[in-house]
Homo-oligomer: A and B are copies of this chain.
């Protein structure tokens, strides 16, 4: 990110026809967008695109979720046919939906909206062995980067991370614990909805995984391979590629936040291109965002994933850029300042 462009945006905000600071968080968001683009005013994003990365999880065998693994594939089919929450919300905010299979266990029907880049049919159980090899993690990262790059080439100017994977809040919480250093019980949530017994089991499973692998944040790819999911690795790639192309990347919930930590520890500067779309109801989300130094734009108690919360922030990002790009200054409007 370009500090001079951010400074120019802050200075421009003082000259726009409104009291200084009166647009609240939108003003600093605008400055960050200017920094990302390296120019002030920043371009106004007109073509948001969400990448929903999908994968399955060996740790599901431990009973961390009430949903069967087959639901991952069924939901991917839903994203393709257009009947899922991500589709409804994407349409509402004018975004396009792409689905990336990096690790769904069940076979999937081909579909124009679905990119097949299956690295392996689901991860291994992180509480007993590494989720995947380092090479597999790298391949998932590259797949995410690849689809992000193609979306930008074809006109996307705002990326949103989405995820699908039954059981994936378990590896997400493990990644958050590993990168933030917080205990598992503080960053583990109830995912799609589990009872007290399952919650205690989930915390224990994550503690076992952390103990088994002894993650070192200096080796972020190793952490992702040991504890993560294929979709988390892929979303880290989406973030890295967005940053490399100077396109803002809106993070959705806990899966995206965990992926953002992986990306941040692989290449610290990429954090400058992240926008925290919302604060997921999952406790690990807040911990991850705090560690990343990001303030969420929305706090609606959402915990679905798929990119739904991130998409809802897309109009806010567009508005933050638009006020810098389209408003008059006191001078141009001939208004005396108060």
**Per-position binary interface string of chain A over residues 68-79, scored 1 when its CB falls under 8 Å from any chain B CB and 0 otherwise:** 101100110110
Q: How far is the CA of A281 from the CA of B332 in the complex (A)?
A: 28
A294 within 8 A of B: no
A301 B193 Cβ-Cβ under 8 A: no
CB distance from A192 to the nearest CB of B (A): 4
Contacts of A193 in B (CB 8 A): 19-22, 338
Interfacial residues of chain A within 301-317, with CB under 8 A of chain B in the complex: 301-304, 308, 311-312, 314-316
B78 A328 Cβ-Cβ under 8 A: yes
**Closest chain B residue, CB of each to CB of A83:** B328
B335 A65 Cβ-Cβ under 8 A: no
Q: How far is the CA of A311 from the CA of B26 in the complex (A)?
A: 13
A107 within 8 A of B: no
Contacts of A336 in B (CB 8 A): 68, 70-71
Number of chain A interface residues as a range: 35 or more
Q: How far is the CA of A328 from the CA of B281 in the complex (A)?
A: 24
Q: How far is the CA of A85 from the CA of B21 in the complex (A)?
A: 12
Interface centre among A25, A81, A85, A323 (most CB of B within 10 A): A85
Contacts of A312 in B (CB 8 A): 26, 315-316, 319
B327 A92 Cβ-Cβ under 8 A: no
A308 B17 Cβ-Cβ under 8 A: no
- Given the known A-B contacts A299-B299, A335-B74, are A318 and B281 also in contact in the complex, defined by CB atoms under 8 Å? no
Q: How far is the CA of A332 from the CA of B78 in the complex (A)?
A: 11
For this complex, 10 residue pairs linking A to B, each with C-beta atoms less than 8 Å apart, are: A16-B85, A19-B304, A20-B193, A23-B302, A23-B308, A24-B302, A74-B335, A88-B322, A92-B315, A300-B316
